[in-house]
Amino acid sequence: MANMNQDNFILKNSRLIVLAFILLGSLFTVIGALSANPTRMWQIYLVNFLLWTGIAQSGAVFSAALELTNATWGARMRQVAESMVFFLPFSLILLLLMIFGADYIFPWLSKVNISETKKIYLNLPFLFGRNFIGLTALTILSFAFVNRRRMADQKKNERPRSLAVVLLLAYVVVYTIISYDFIMSLSPHWYSTIMGMHFFTACFYTGIAMILFTAVFGRWRLFPENFMQDNDFHDLGKLVFGFAIFWMSLLWSQFLIIWYGNLPEETEFLQLRLFEEPWRTISWLVIVFGFITPLVILLNKRGKLNQWVAGSVASLILIGSFFHLFVLIVPSLMPHHFTFGLMEVFVTLGFLGLFVLAQDIRLRKIPIR
């Protein structure tokens, strides 16, 4: 009984910390939006919006992938994945809030001249309209799939395989559009034919890392005793290892195409990020955290089975994913001015707090069994 009371006390204090993160994040968001340099706030807002929305969506995508492949090895960890989906309704609100910062996010609105053809696609009402409709459809599909899958498990109903197919196809289409609108359009004269695949693969990879991170550090507080077994961590570690290689292969493909094409409008994008400080250091940090670390540590079976090691690798991947988006977005808006201070920290903590709160609401409503 004493241990149970202590656990409840810790969880209650944790919720207070989460609420404090949200309040501080909201405060710094407002302060940044009203400051003399609103671009600084809105760019970190965009980085976090893409990061946490992608992680949340990957929970439903992970579960749908297991459903389509008849995979039984992920039955326990899919419950962790599905708990992340509850952030998606919040992301719709966060998307609409970006309308207030559009002038500071999108250079093509005022700072950069674009062709009349591009203006047909790049205009504010159409941009936010298509993304809001796409994310709303994905949110509805995700919740419908998760609920039907749970009902199928409980009542032995028909498996929602058709819904899983629709969800995965919609994910690819919508996240390709998001990558074009919120990453590629920030450098209006640069384009990439594989940016969509690059982005939705990175989101899924980050989501798997978040599942591993939650499974490791939630094992003692959130889940029933012995909920996750060693073979679960081994399987999840192999999945993270595989996607680290696939993610890096897409980065390399992107680099190779631009490097050998040697077109000025394309190479400028790489030149800034790979050869000019501080972006070069950040780019290498992304590669070390997102590829080299999981490749070296998770190659060994012991690295996958040691929960603290696997959880630490997952945390580094999450940090690397954050800076991956950071180095894709920020140099396009402020190429010669790098700042990372309290503004960036607290806005990020605000998003983190909101994500954890959404996951906590789901876990209290539908506990993991």
DSSP-assigned states of every residue in 46-101: HHHHHHHHHHHHHHHHHHHHHHHTT--TTTTHHHHHHHGGGGHHHHHHHHHHGGGG
Q: What is the pLDDT of residues 55-98, one digit of tens each?
A: 999 999 999 999 998 887 877 888 889 989 999 999 999 999 99
Q: Which two tokens stand for residue 123?
A: 């205009």
The confidence score (pLDDT) of residue 2 equals 39
pLDDT at residue 169 is higher than 90:
yes
Highest mean pLDDT, choosing among 108-112, 228-232, 331-335, 348-352: 348-352
Which amino acid belongs to residue 217? F
Band of pLDDT at residue 222, cut at 50, 70 and 90: low
pLDDT at residue 138 is higher than 70:
yes
The Cβ of residue 261 has, within 10 Å, a number of other Cβ atoms equal to 10
pLDDT at residue 210 is higher than 50:
yes
The confidence score (pLDDT) of residue 90 equals 96
Please provide the distance, in angstroms rounded to a whole number, between the alpha carbons at the two ends of the chain: 21
The confidence score (pLDDT) of residue 6 equals 39
Task: Read off the pLDDT of each residue in 186-191 and give the average, rounded to a whole number.
Answer: 84
The confidence score (pLDDT) of residue 1 equals 38
pLDDT at residue 286 is higher than 60:
yes
Which amino acid belongs to residue 90? F
Least confident window among 10-19, 327-336, 353-362: 10-19
Contacting residues for 48 by C-beta, under 8 A, at least 6 apart: 322, 347, 348, 350, 351
Angle at the Cα of 139 from the Cα atoms of 121 and 135, rounded to 5 degrees: 10
The confidence score (pLDDT) of residue 16 equals 87
Are the C-beta atoms of 366 and 37 separated by less than 8 Å?
Answer: no
What is this structure's pTM? Answer: 0.91
- Nearest to residue 327, comparing CAs of 276, 365, 265? 276
Band of pLDDT at residue 4, cut at 50, 70 and 90: very low
Band of pLDDT at residue 3, cut at 50, 70 and 90: very low
pLDDT at residue 158 is higher than 60:
yes
Distance CA 276, CA 71 (A): 45
Mean residue pLDDT across the chain: 88
Task: Read off the pLDDT of each residue in 206-210 and give the average, rounded to a whole number.
Answer: 95
Q: How far is CA 224 from the centre of its chain?
A: 27
